A and B are shown apart, each in its own frame.
Chain A
Amino acid sequence: MQANLKVKRYNPDEPQPRVRYQEYSLDVLESFTVLDALIQVRDEVDGTLALRCSCRASICGSCGMRVNGRAKLACKTRIAELAPNGEQLTIEPMGNHPVIKDLVVDIDTFFNQIRRVDPFIQPDSTPTQGEFIASSESMTNLLGVMNCIMCGACVSDCTVLEVDDKFIGPAALAKAYRFVDDPRDDRSSERLKKLNDEHGGIWDCTRCFQCVEVCPKDVAPMDRIMEMRDMAIEAGNRNTPGYRHTESFIRSVRRHGRLDETRLAVDSIGWTNVPGLLREAPVAMKAFTKGKLPPLFPHKAEGNSAIREIVEKAEGGSK
């Protein structure tokens, strides 16, 4: 079958480096992955094409890249599935990583983010004889995050990192979860407090689901971040806009059957946080002049009592 690749190229060694796209047409086997095709290009057509790859079996995490705009492991992406009739595939380096050359990106930032979460187990003491005793369920529960191969796909497509480079990011937060939830670790509460308090911590995820969708190993980083929010609240960390937002949200729905957006904004910032409120004032003014300011006192939703019942049922179920 035919594979048509359009590969983003960049070579910093050129006198005037510039980004360009190069097209390759290849005869490939039906079973070929994007990586197989790129290796064929590199080996037989164009030895200057730079990419990282190693295991070819989705376990080393080297070949993260964007295929048709989405982060993927090239070794796990079959051409026949994406382009059965020879449609052109656009291959680009991962996002949110500086490009070094062609498809090779700088992974230093990625691993510096991992370092931020103190990614090693910290027990107060280790057994003098034999292993830690830990339940099978607790270990099986951590298997999901241990599947992370640090390929960077989640970081590539993270919409928060696009605008806020202080965000620890989905991979490092999933890594943090691995220790927070490990019964052998004795720093869980300190870890949670730090992740709760710091700029770029668990409350800065916008729940856009990108990391869950692109992760090639089903680690679902966002789900771990949400679990850590619950754990942080349970552990008494309540002085965050995120927590206040959650509380205000549910209070509003319970009371009015709908969202009181004005109050939600003020609650989240905090009624006594004057600088924070002033910072948002221009936004409110702008919304007002465009007729987009929500009502100061919300209308009650129709069927309010039915909604309240649903809320109570949901809360009861979660307890």
Chain B
Amino acid sequence: MYEHDLLIIGAGLAGLRAAVEGVRGGADVAVVTKVHPVRSHSNAAQGGINAPLTDRGDDWESHALDTIKGSDYLADQDAVEIMSREAGEAVIELEHMGVIFSRDDEGRLGTRRFGGQKVARTFFVGAITGSALLHVLYEQAIKYGLRVYEEWFVTSLIEEDGVVRGAVALDLRTGELHTIRAKAVIIAAGGAGRVFEPSTNAIICTGDGLALAWRAGAPMMDMEMVQYHPTTLARTGILMSEAARGEGAYLLNKQGDRFMETYAPEYLELASRDVVSRSEQTEINEGRGIDGNVLLDLRHLGRSFIEERLGYLQEVAVEFLGMDLANDPVPIRPGMHYIMGGIKTDVNGRTEAPGLYAAGECANVSVHGANRLGANSLLDTVVFGRRAARHALEYIKSVNGTSRDESQLEADKARLQALLDRPQGIRSAALRREMAEAMTEGIGVFRDQASMERAETAVRRARDQFANVSVQDKGKTFNMDLMFALELDYVIDCAEAICAGALARKESRGAHYRTDITQRDDENWLKHTLVYKTDEGLRVDTSPVAITKWEPVKRVY
């Protein structure tokens, strides 16, 4: 048994930022992560991090309003205000930690434009911003000697008298289960892209943190809000950063027209992501696409500009498509990318389960509402990762020593053994793929009652079939097969919540666009959907949206 003050699940940006705060605050902090920290999916964020820096003439209210408009007025405005106000400090702090941000001619931090915003306030490192931030936070983790349980997979949270007091985790290297006790737990385990197929998300994005919190009684909020990124590569589904359009790239249809002139005459290619994805899908559906794609055209930016500011995109185009951005427009289409929904938290990261916090993509504060602006996700991780740790540091002062109860460990041992003992059955990979393809078909860029019900049926079938999943690998060491089966259990949980949220919301808002109810309905649906997991099944509820100073108006780009 291991014991710490504060246990953080996940070692991406939110987790590491929380951990650094915890260590600086003098607490005994540990991080448990199923992959080495630098393998975390924060790596994949490319374009940048938003911050309204006042010394550049920008102001927090402008960023907040862009964010709220981007969210289609579903974001909680008190939470957005905090994020916008703390953004400048958060970015400067990252720079002081060593991030090699791009500079302007005076040697100050340089910016680029991003979608849904008129002001260039996105700070960046080439097209590898997430990776650059993650590696620097890992450097800080080394500096502070942070305790990391690397390649440990969390199988359960430990609850005592309704309070979260740690986790049980599988050491993948040895195959042994262990209890890690803590006075508080922060979940920062990332998104759930594997609910969908295809997705820009990494194979590790299986919604572990969402499912763990959900099982502990915390509701998932606005799970129907699934972001389809406008520019993912044909065939492979790899992400092409919004930075391309931020730097001036065009979107073209089969006729070579910049079709965004029709859909968003003012913002064009830099309208919010939900708007651009819908526009592309409309072009494709109406026969103006090319084999199910439209084109992203960077040719006019010139080779040297592309290579310096968007080097990773060029690498991807060359390596994965055999194309050269300086010569060829590349085929792209909308692809599942991010979940705005997540575990409901307050502005200090607290969930409805006592002792449990959440931050990053798995959490829903909510600052993204029905559609997240590009470059706001990195900001979300560092601002709310830090806030969650700060609050948890206070909370643990009032928590007494922990018990030695090992009942959760014993229960998990039995559960894993039962899975290993099941002689033959369905392969988890096949079951996931079948369900995830149905989710993409049913809860896509466009959706309606019938399509969402089809998705729900597929998810229900997957839940039933999960009882027949078997594991071929019966060994102890690095039993990935066993971990995939456990992950699939989490993936199905997330899919259930997404379907429940989607079917509940009887309007179109942001990323949730229903072709059978095309209008936003502020009168009845200016509220969050909440989905609880209970012994009697799922329970759907709603809660009000915090409106502080920006009354919802019609959203035009």
Contact = CB atoms under 8 A, between A and B. Distances in A.
A130 B91 CA distance: 10
Contacts of A53: 203
A115 B142 contact: yes
Contacts of B142: 114-115, 119-120
Nearest to A178: B100
B98 A44 contact: no
B109 A62 contact: no
Given A131-B109, A149-B38, A59 B477 contact: no
A12 to B, nearest CB: 5
A316 interface: no
A182 B430 contact: no
Contacts of A227: none
Interface string B123-155: 001101001100100011011000000000000
Interface in B34-90: 35-36, 38-41, 43-44, 55
B461 interface: no
Interface residues of B, number: 63
A131 B96 contact: yes
Contacts of A119: 139, 142
B238 interface: yes
Interface in A8-38: 11-13, 31
Interface residues of A, number: 59
B429 A139 contact: no
Contacts of B427: 43-44, 47
Interface string B100-123: 111111111110000000000000
B43 A120 contact: no
A278 interface: no
A134 interface: yes
Interface string A106-127: 0100010011000111010011
Contacts of B547: none
Interface stretch (B219-227, B292-300, B308-316, B524-532): B308-316
B55 A130 contact: yes
Interface string B310-352: 0110011001100000000000000000000000000000000
A212 B271 CA distance: 41
B472 A132 contact: no
Given A31-B236, A60-B202, A134-B107, A13 B143 contact: no
Contact of B239 (A11, A57, A102, A132): A57
A31 B131 contact: no
A289 interface: no
Given A31-B235, A120-B142, A46 B472 contact: yes
B481 to A, nearest CB: 4
Interface in A91-114: 100-102, 104, 107, 111, 114
A136 B95 contact: no
Interface stretch (A82-90, A140-148, A250-258): A140-148
A280 B131 CA distance: 47
B516 interface: no
A153 B93 CA distance: 32
B107 A100 contact: no
B204 interface: yes
A151 B110 CA distance: 29
B141 to A, nearest CB: 9
Contacts of A61: 38-39
Contact of B128 (A126, A131, A142, A146): A146
B238 to A, nearest CB: 5
28 contacts: A11-B477, A31-B236, A47-B473, A48-B473, A50-B479, A52-B39, A54-B204, A55-B203, A57-B238, A60-B35, A60-B39, A62-B35, A76-B319, A101-B477, A119-B142, A120-B139, A121-B97, A123-B96, A129-B55, A131-B92, A131-B108, A132-B96, A133-B106, A133-B108, A136-B105, A136-B110, A147-B128, A182-B98
Chain A to chain B: the 5 pairs with minimum beta-carbon distance, closest first: A47-B472, A43-B429, A121-B98, A13-B475, A47-B481
Interface of A: 11-13, 31, 39, 42-44, 46-48, 50-62, 76, 78, 100-102, 104, 107, 111, 114-115, 119-121, 123, 126-127, 129-136, 139-140, 142-143, 146-150, 182, 184
Given A120-B142, A149-B131, 6 more contacts: A42-B481, A57-B239, A59-B131, A60-B40, A123-B96, A136-B102
